[in-house]
Structure 1
Amino acid sequence: MTPTSSSTPQPVTVSNDARRDLVGWDPNNDRIWDSRIAWSTLWVTTFNLVLAFVIWYLPGALVPTLGTLTGWNLTESQSYWLLAMPGLTGGALRLVWMTLPPMIGTRKMLTLSTLLMLIPFVGWTWVVTLPEQPAYGLLVALALAAGIGGGVFSGYMPSTSYFFPKAKQGTALGLQAGIGNFGVSIVQFVVPWAIGFSLFGVAGQVAQTDSGERTVWLQNPGLIFIPFAVVGVILAWTMLRSVPMKVNLRQQFDIFSNKHTWLMTMQYVLTFGIFSGLAGTFGMLLNVQFGAQYLTWVFLGAFVGSLVRMCWGPLCDRFGGGIWTFVSGVGMAVSAGVVLFGQITAGDEGPSLGIFMTGMLMIFFFAGVGNASTFKQMPMIFPARQAGGVIGWTAAIAAFGPFIFSMAFNFFSREAVFTFIIVYALACAAVSWFYYARPGAEAKS
């Protein structure tokens, strides 16, 4: 897939059709590239991406409290299944959304995506107000619907890459993904705060806690975010443009014959797969091991990872992504070792909260480094027509992280899960060093 352009630079024009195509757009030609269009596209898309991560993780922020409601009876296993569902649809839908940017254009894709996100926003706002637990299948369906927020990522990021030259893609994609990831920490921060007071005089729900009964208003987060989603639809439709692409289905799928597609998938599963998986299960881990009073701190993991991802883009542009991906793998292995140490040395009183939080925040930190570096590498390793597809594909597979980790913590011990992270991270670090970071590497990037 390549943007349509001529050999002689021509002024960029905007077509009058519904797509509002940027005819003659070529971001790598300074005489054609319009930075104002590129950056406005980035900020509108990023605003909508924040909302996407909010709805993707809204069930995960609400589920630990749902099981305490009077009239409800969620087991720990049922809660983990609900946490897993957004990851399942998020990963599956990314395989769809990775094909949409060249097919329908940025403007239509963003508008449609945000409209669809209103469905789970409204659904979760309504279902938590029910006095008795509804059919479990309804909760599963709403959790699956929340996965739309995870799915759109694989359309948003490749689409943004069409608007920026290669030299700026590390910074642009790092900013977009990093700020977008803040949606996780935003919803995890807002939910414990917002459920504590009445909004618009709407009745709350009674929850059973260790200190007795208390009233919560679980519909408040949805009521707060729905207006922002409406604004996102309006911004997407009125402000965005599309880059016309020559779509060749065979060329879209020839990325799978390139071994680096699979090696970079391996790397991104390490970084974003673990980031998304642990962000989705962090609240349950804290609640089960240390108590619900610590849920107010659950936002810190995603906050650290998102901040690092946003800030590391310029460093990756300067030093290359390969070396930072290697550093990320080693760092995540050491960090998981800290968590594992706290688990296996736990006494009768349970694991140390300090050791657990230190290790977890270290994992999120190094995952953020790797998330930034891998998105710098892919446009450098692959030609322009393939880079967007590779970004979409790797993001799709890594989006299964919440599903995988929810199932892992449901069926395996925490010691086994963090041991696997150590082994996998070291294997990824070795691959990164050999193919992308060492002097004379095959695809130094």
Structure 2
Amino acid sequence: MTPETGQRAARTGKSWITDWDPENETFWREKGRPVAQRNLWASIFSEHIGFSIWSIWSVLVLFMTPATGFDWAPEQKFLLVSVVAFVGAVLRVPYTLAVPFFGGRNWTIISSTMLLVPTGLAVFLIQAPQTPYWLFLVLAAIAGIGGGNFSSSMANINFYFPEKEKGWALGMNAGGGNIGVATVQLVGLGVIALFTAQGGHFVPLFYVPFILLAIWVAIRHMNNLAGARSDASAQLAATKDRHFWIMSFLYVGTFGSFIGFGFAFGLLLQNQFGLEPLQAASITFLGPTIGSLIRPIGGKMADRFGGARVTLWNFVAMVAGTGVVVAAINADSLAVFIGAFCVVFVLTGIGNGSTYKMIPSIYAAKAQNAIAQGAPREETLAYNKRIASSMLGLIGAMGAMGGVAINLVFRESFRATESAAPGFLAFLAFYTVCAIITYAVYMRTPAATASTTTPTGTTETVAR
């Protein structure tokens, strides 16, 4: 028996689907759509719980006050959430490979089960202020495994849907996961309201039954695709393409901002405006909620108008919104700060959807270019889809690094000036650069460029 034959034999059974062709309209209409949607909703729930556990320490730090035994400086709290964000970002790379290796259903079961570890640790850590700070960093960082769920979930769903519906499907999947940041903040608000800041351990305890439910949902409602392929060689090939680095940079500006601001919002309210834990918790969920809910709309807008066009104008708006945030801080206006910051959250959500839609569209256009020049159709489509799937996970990891950078910038900003304003000025400059790059690479049409009309009816410009 050859290795290939053995692999095929292992990919059989009730949970495995061996025949999957979403680009075939008859197959998609008669068989594919209901299966894909069932897997999508199960994936959204699992990813939602993963995001909640990943961001749980952004809530628990609100409970860490002198009254509860934590006499920590602001920069120590920003460093703690930065470490958690970093681990989640790094794990997104191997998590992308896990889906084709184990199967989407199987890996969802495994990754959901692993969430029980950081959840249990959080229950004990939040009640142990005497724990050395360095040990807090190490143990809390394990919550980063929840951040890896995003890449495996997105890579899995990317295999299920046809090109013309990926903007919506990936947007729904990501948005449903992203809103886990807001959900855990609402849980934190409820705990503080009911038990005061002394009840922090109830936040992770709340999530234990939902982790078990996510495991059951994956077992009951998800499938493995035997044809899903995404390997280390595909990831290596993706990193050699300049579009990988460009899209990673842009995704740092959109998703990196979303997750970084989501982790930092409560700390900003406490340290910039002096809010108490209950006051901060009653506000922090607003930004991540609207940023998450708007993400599918960003994907839909990209399907309709083109990912590059939506992304460009979104970055321009982020520059303006960040400018208002800086003005609000300088004027010490809490109301203007909250309003402007929530607008920026909306823009990060739209940008998340539009930039992520650009990735498969770029490679679909490249595949069509190659086919037009005589390349074999099936092999070319399969190769470019494999590279695009690898890029989805890798770019997700690079984007999450933006969340690390944002909290480190805030840490240095508070340490040097006791204000977040210099940090926001740095972000404003970064968004300006992102807008320029989007225009120069994906909107302007240089001589050595091919433009291809995608199945959505929009034109994606692919620089060669």
Counterpart pick for 1:93 among 91, 97, 106: 91
1:215, 1:354 → 2: CA distance? Answer: 24
In the other structure, the counterpart of 2:210 is 228
Q: CA deviation at 1:19?
A: 8.2
Counterpart pick for 2:19 among 16, 20, 24: 24
Distance 1:194 1:396, change over 3 A: same
Q: CA deviation at 1:155?
A: 1.0
Q: CA deviation at 1:259?
A: 1.1
Q: CA deviation at 1:239?
A: 2.1
Counterpart pick for 1:60 among 58, 61, 68: 58
Q: Is the 8 A contact 2:121 2:140 kept in 1?
A: no
Counterpart pick for 1:277 among 260, 270, 273: 260
1:187 paired to 2:184:
yes
Q: CA deviation at 1:78?
A: 1.9
In the other structure, the counterpart of 1:162 is 159
Q: Is the 8 A contact 2:319 2:432 kept in 1?
A: yes
Aligned runs of 1:139-178 on 2, under 5 Å? 139-178=136-175
1:134 alignment partner, SS class: coil
Q: Is the 8 A contact 1:343 1:415 kept in 2?
A: yes
Gaps of 5+ in 2: 364-383, 452-458
Q: CA deviation at 1:416?
A: 2.3
1:179 alignment partner, SS class: helix
Distance 1:247 1:399, change over 3 A: closer
Q: Is the 8 A contact 1:154 1:395 kept in 2?
A: yes
Q: Is the 8 A contact 1:46 1:180 kept in 2?
A: yes
Q: Is the 8 A contact 2:230 2:387 kept in 1?
A: no
Counterpart pick for 2:113 among 106, 115, 123: 115
Give the stretch that moved more between structures: 400-409 or 434-443. 434-443
Q: CA deviation at 1:142?
A: 2.8
2:254, 2:68 → 1: CA distance? Answer: 39
1:70, 1:225 → 2: CA distance? Answer: 22
Q: Is the 8 A contact 2:97 2:231 kept in 1?
A: no
1:304, 1:179 → 2: CA distance? Answer: 11
Q: Is the 8 A contact 2:89 2:397 kept in 1?
A: yes
Q: Residue by residue, what CA displacement relative to the aligned partner does 1:237-276 show, whole Å, maximum 9, x if unpaired? A: 2321112234553233111221111111111010001111
Aligned runs of 1:40-51 on 2, under 5 Å? 40-51=38-49
Q: Is the 8 A contact 1:195 1:219 kept in 2?
A: no
For 1:216, the aligned partner's letter is Q
Q: How many equivalent pairs are there?
A: 413
Counterpart pick for 1:309 among 280, 295, 313: 295
1:427, 1:265 → 2: CA distance? Answer: 13
1:401, 1:271 → 2: CA distance? Answer: 9
Q: CA deviation at 1:87?
A: 0.7
For 2:73, the aligned partner's letter is T
Q: CA deviation at 1:18?
A: 6.0
Distance 1:77 1:19, change over 3 A: farther
2:101 alignment partner, SS class: helix
Distance 1:70 1:153, change over 3 A: closer
In the other structure, the counterpart of 2:435 is 429
Q: CA deviation at 1:294?
A: 3.3
Q: Residue by residue, what CA displacement relative to the aligned partner does 1:273-307 show, whole Å, maximum 9, x if unpaired? A: 11111111111000012212233101111111111
Counterpart pick for 1:243 among 225, 229, 233: 225
Q: CA deviation at 1:173?
A: 0.5
> TM-score with structure 1 length normalisation?
0.87
For 2:210, the aligned partner's letter is F
For 1:229, the aligned partner's letter is I
For 1:393, the aligned partner's letter is L
1:26, 1:67 → 2: CA distance? Answer: 55
In the other structure, the counterpart of 2:101 is 103
For 1:240, the aligned partner's letter is M
In the other structure, the counterpart of 1:333 is 319
CA RMSD of aligned residues (A): 2.2
In the other structure, the counterpart of 1:208 is none
Q: CA deviation at 1:100?
A: 1.4
Q: Indicate the percent of aligned positions where both proteins have the same amino acid.
A: 30
Q: Residue by residue, what CA displacement relative to the aligned partner does 1:138-181 show, whole Å, maximum 9, x if unpaired? A: 32123211111111211110110000000000000111111111
For 2:395, the aligned partner's letter is T
Q: Is the 8 A contact 1:322 1:377 kept in 2?
A: yes
Distance 1:246 1:304, change over 3 A: closer
Q: Is the 8 A contact 2:298 2:352 kept in 1?
A: no
Q: CA deviation at 1:20?
A: 2.9
Q: Residue by residue, what CA displacement relative to the aligned partner does 1:309-345 show, whole Å, maximum 9, x if unpaired? A: 123322221112111100111011111111122234x
Gaps of 5+ in 1: 5-12, 199-213
1:264 alignment partner, SS class: helix
Distance 1:65 1:359, change over 3 A: same
Q: CA deviation at 1:116?
A: 0.8
Q: Residue by residue, what CA displacement relative to the aligned partner does 1:338-359 show, whole Å, maximum 9, x if unpaired? A: 1122234x3xxxx111221122
2:255, 2:280 → 1: CA distance? Answer: 24
1:64, 1:409 → 2: CA distance? Answer: 16
Give the stretch that moved more between structures: 253-262 or 238-247. 238-247
Q: Is the 8 A contact 1:197 1:216 kept in 2?
A: no
Q: Is the 8 A contact 1:408 1:417 kept in 2?
A: yes
For 1:177, the aligned partner's letter is A
2:223 alignment partner, SS class: coil
Distance 1:247 1:193, change over 3 A: closer
Q: CA deviation at 1:126?
A: 2.5
Q: Is the 8 A contact 1:19 1:108 kept in 2?
A: no
In the other structure, the counterpart of 1:420 is 426
1:162 alignment partner, SS class: helix
1:151, 1:233 → 2: CA distance? Answer: 16
In the other structure, the counterpart of 2:455 is none
